[in-house]
Amino acid sequence: MMGTFYLPNSRHLKLRVSGASLMEYITRYTARRMSYNYERETQIYQYIVDYMQEHMYAPTIREICKAVGLSSTSSVAFHMERLEGKGLIEIGQDAPRKIRLVGYSIVPNSMIEELNRLEVSE
């Protein structure tokens, strides 16, 4: 059977496939997109954790964009909303740095170094 199928990336493909191989193609396509999203979310989350560890406050969306190599602030906002949906962060309204890491207590690097020195000296 010949058909034109529209996929989320706005390209249309003319595929001559049976129903089973079309589903296989769509499954592989979706898995690739999900893998990409998971990698980006992990990258963004790790950047937020590292930034807050170093600076003791949250990064802005533009800082996150620059750090992870995205040019669109809406892409970062999308991934952050997904992280919030997974319960990893909380995003406050009306403030550019209103990100809270769920389940974390941020301790400055200097304090960690001091604790390590005390531990070694004992």
pLDDT in tens, 8-21: 544 444 444 555 56
pLDDT band at 39 (very low <50, low <70, confident <90, very high): confident
From residue 109, give the alpha-carbon distance in Å to each of 43, 44, 56, 63, 116: 21, 20, 9, 20, 11
The pTM of this model reads: 0.63
Q: Tell me the backbone φ, ψ of residue 83, rounded to 5 degrees.
A: -65, -40
pLDDT at 53 over 90: no
Question: Percent of the chain at pLDDT above 70?
Answer: 69
